[in-house]
Amino acid sequence: MLDAIHQFDKLRFSSLINLPFVFSHGDLDIQNILISTDDLESPRITGIVDWEWAGSFPCS
């Protein structure tokens, strides 16, 4: 039984082994981007919030 579990894991993850991974915020939207408006001619991003969905995911 243990051998069958190991074989299942190999099959399940074998397609992911050679894929590149990317780090993603997971919920990047306008309400999660903090912008400084001190200088209205050149506003700048001062922070990004709401990281609970962030992670490393395969590019597929």
Tokens of 19: 């894929």
As a whole number of angstroms, the distance between CA 49 and CA 30 comes to 10
- Residue-wise pLDDT for 24-46, tens only, equals 999 999 999 999 989 888 999 99
Domain coverage including residue 45: 21-60
As a whole number of angstroms, the distance between CA 59 and CA 22 comes to 6
Q: How confident is the model at residue 6 (pLDDT cuts 50, 70, 90)?
A: confident
Does 36 fall in a domain? yes
In the chain, the number of structural domains is 1
**Average pLDDT along the chain:** 86
Does 44 fall in a domain? yes
Q: How confident is the model at residue 55 (pLDDT cuts 50, 70, 90)?
A: very high
As a whole number of angstroms, the distance between CA 51 and CA 2 comes to 37
As a whole number of angstroms, the distance between CA 34 and CA 40 comes to 14
pTM for the full model?
Answer: 0.60
Does 2 fall in a domain? no
